[in-house]
């Protein structure tokens, strides 16, 4: 494939220069209408764990283990 001016890539259709449009530097997208954020219920981890470091959670018939690590992070395992 040649990169010289006038070389063509098979299957590529060139537009006439008058049909080419450049995006101006100040182009702005119209803001999209946003839906109000859903209010999520917040559950304190202390209320879930009740002093334990590990709890079991059943979701759609599958049991998961939620643990608090030594560093205080949460890990969910199947």
Q: Which domains can be identified in the chain, with CATH numbers?
A: 39-78 (2.10.70.10)
Give residue 15's pLDDT: 62
pTM (predicted TM-score):
0.50
pLDDT tens, position by position, 30-45 = 666 676 767 889 999 9
Distance in angstroms (rounded) separating the CA atoms of residues 63 and 78: 7
Average pLDDT over residues 19-39: 65
Overall average pLDDT of the 49-57 stretch: 97
pLDDT digits (tens, 9 = 90+) for 58-78: 999 999 999 999 999 999 999
Total residues found in the chain within this entry: 78
Strands 54-59 and 62-68: antiparallel
Rounded Cα distance between 31 and 15, Å, is 30
Checking if the pLDDT of 26 tops 80, the result is no
What is the pLDDT at residue 38?
A: 77
Strand partners, 57: 64
Alpha-carbon gap, residue 45 to 43, rounded angstroms: 6
């Amino acid at each position: 494939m040649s990169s010289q001016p006038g070389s063509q890539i098979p299957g590529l259709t060139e537009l006439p220069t008058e049909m080419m449009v450049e995006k101006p530097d100040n182009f702005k997208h119209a803001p999209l209408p946003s839906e109000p954020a859903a209010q999520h219920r917040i559950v304190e981890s202390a209320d879930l764990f009740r002093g334990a470091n590990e709890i079991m959670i059943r979701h759609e018939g599958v049991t998961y283990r939620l643990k608090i690590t030594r560093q205080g992070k949460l890990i969910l395992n199947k």
